[in-house]
Amino acid sequence: MNLIQRIRIKLNYFSRWRKQALKVVEQITLFLSLVAMLLMLYNIGFTYTAETERAIHKANSYLLVTFFVVLGMRFLALFNPQNITRKRTLEIILLLFFFVALCLRFFMRDTHFGNLGWVNFFDRRAFTHLVFIYIFLVQLSRVNFRLSRFNFNPALLFIYSFLFLIFAGAGLLLLPQSTHHNISVLDAFFTATSAVCITGLTVVDTATTFTPFGKKIIILLVQLGGLGIMTFTSFVALLFQRTSTFKNQLFLQSMVNEEHLGQTFRTIVKIVGITLGIEAIGALLIYLSMDNQLFYNQPEEQWAFAVFHAISAFCNGGFSTLSHGLYDIRIRYNYNLQLTLAWLIILGGLGFPIMFNIYKYLKQEILKVFYSFFKSHAYKHKPRLLNINSKLVLITTTILLILGTILFGLLEYWHALQEHSWYGKVVVSFFGSVTPRSAGFNTVNMATLTTPTILVYLLLMWIGASPASTGGGIKTTTLAVAFLNIISIGKGRDRLEVMNREIPNESVKRAFAVIFLSFMIIGLNIFLVTLLDARHDLKAVIFEVFSAFATVGLSLGLTPQLNDGSKVIIMLTMFLGRVGLITFVLSFINRDIAMHYRYPSENIIIS
């Protein structure tokens, strides 16, 4: 055996050893991240003595040092000075992040440095928790990628992700520091389910029951429920790893409904970026529309209110930090606030594919105008950039908003709208048309609504928002396809054609399947609630079930009065409404391979 062969053997041995060492490091990091998260939850969720606090402080210090050493070893094992990629750069930044945390914990003490502004700007405990959360998210994202390598049904994994988030959220809401007084396990699960499924139905008063920490947990669940925990963890994984297998990319492609495989990462980044950007703008507008006297000149309280309601509105969550919601006497006549929330709800209910498509269309139209004024040649535009799906969503949404506003204004002019001015009547009517389509905020006293208005609300709740959005219901495209198909049948056509395009037969079948399943689930759950809790008015029960299925969150005051059995039924209704009926069915049924034969046809008498 010559020298070169010996060197190759040693290099192969070193490579195998390094891979094994990296696997061990990953397992140690995952275990330590779980330990750190549990320690952090105990630190912020329970009350303890000064001696226990010192022990926790010491344990956090040991964990920080261990993380720094383990990640440093991992970095050195993978370091290649000739190939400094973005991934390596981010790992260097992470190590510097840890170094700052260690310096804050061990060296920069108030007794040594006095009141140094730049030191006191950092809360050492909060900074340590931020480090632990970051490590946990990175490890969770890697677990997410590992799960996608197995032959999991994407629909089933999507459902499991929501179940995991509900159980985790319920556990956090049961922490002593989350509530001013203890709540039952069922109430914690109901609140977590309502938040994750972005519904807004509550069995306890959010404003008086939950502490600021508990409210942060609720709005975090709303945000993750609106985005989807799979989208969020995939974003973290791709952001800090930038590499994934072909199977991972196919899995993510099906999750975000992206047509082009190479655009999956950009789509996920766009989803997260647009969500955070719109919520930030909404929070700023809400902050500016509020009177600081309502918050006793405390800007941090005003910002907390603005951020909470911006996230809740865009995610169609329906949660509010006010006991009476937006009907609170302090903001009941704040019409600028209502308009801001209404447009946040509309944008969140359009769906990300629609927003991307509208952005491309508007960008093209602006470039056409720009070229016509400042360029010597015309802009080469793409024809039919606004696809049929976007057109159906925009047309259906506009019709529902206009009809809903007119009907609400006419039916409630002498009732719920009587206390408002002319301008107020228009704004409240518009908001009353927006909120039942999966938002859940109330600007009027729901108990004063007339029966015709309630029937209009039931229809709007059942229709809901648009596909791939943060809203629920059967979706606007389902209604549009079903309605257009009825017209097509009336005209005697054997296929559905819209705007010079043919709608596939599969879309038509899915639309009517969703409609049938929705009525079946709603009817069954109304029957079960009346069976388990017969003391309630049927109108209130019907309204409650429709609201839960469409993940709206509006109620006629029935939610806090439900017994335990009815709460479970409403929780299941919210869950089915959020994950989608077709998704739920597909997760348990294996799809047949396409058959290349056809049986003789035979007519069935329908009517």
Q: What is the DSSP string of 208-264?
A: HHB-HHHHHHHHHHHHHHHH-HHHHHHHHHHHHH----HHHHHHHHHHHT-SSGGGH
150-184 burial by CB neighbour count: b if 16+ within 10 A, else e? Answer: eeeebbebbbbbbeebbebbbbbbbbebbbeeebe
Cα 261 to Cα 253: distance, rounded to the nearest angstrom: 6
Residue-wise pLDDT tens digits, 82-106:
555 555 566 666 667 666 666 766 6
pLDDT one-digit tens code per residue, 40-75: 888 788 877 778 878 887 887 777 777 777 777 766
* pLDDT > 90 in the chain, percent: 39
The pLDDT of residue 120:
41
Residue 38 has a pLDDT of: 82
Q: In 3D, which of 431, 482, 438, 492 has the Cα closest to residue 461?
A: 438
Q: What is the mean pLDDT of the chain?
A: 81
Q: Terminal CA-to-CA distance of the chain, rounded, Å? A: 87
Which region among 235-244, 262-271, 475-484 has the lowest average model confidence (pLDDT)?
A: 235-244
Query: What is the pLDDT at residue 433?
Result: 95
Who has greater pLDDT, 414 or 12?
414
- CB 404 within 8 Å of CB 349: no
For residues 547 and 312, what is the distance between their CA atoms, to the nearest angstrom? 16
What CA dihedral angle connects 323, 326, 327 and 328, to 10 degrees? 50
The stretch 581-596 carries a mean pLDDT of: 67
Q: How many CA atoms lie within 13 A of 52 on its CB side?
A: 8
What are the tens digits of pLDDT across the range 376-396?
Answer: 777 776 777 788 989 999 999
pLDDT at residue 56, as a whole number:
80
Residue listed under structure tokens 């606090």 = 53
* pLDDT confidence band for 118 (50 / 70 / 90): very low
Mean per-residue pLDDT for 487-499? 88
| pLDDT of res. 426 | 95
Helices 352-374 and 388-411, axial angle in degrees (round to 10) = 110
> What mean pLDDT do residues 11-25 have?
66
**What are the E-state strand segments in 302-404?**
none
How confident is residue 422, by pLDDT bands cut at 50, 70 and 90? very high
Domains of the chain: 16-149 (1.20.120), 339-586 (no CATH)
Average pLDDT over residues 102-113: 56
Tokens 């099906």: give the residue: 254
The predicted-structure confidence for 532-549, as pLDDT tens digits, reads as follows 998 899 999 999 999 999
**pLDDT: is 7 or 362 the higher one?**
362
- The stretch 191-202 carries a mean pLDDT of 93
CA angle (373 as vertex; 370, 376 as ends), nearest 5: 100
Q: Residue 512: how many CB atoms within 10 A of its CB? A: 13
pTM reported for the whole predicted model = 0.85
* pLDDT reading at 580 higher than 60: yes
Q: Please give the residue that has the higher pLDDT: either 11 or 37.
A: 37
Quick check: 355 pLDDT over 90?
A: no
Residue 340: pLDDT band (50, 70, 90) is very high
In the 8-state DSSP scheme, what is residue 497? E
Q: What SS3 class is residue 503? A: strand
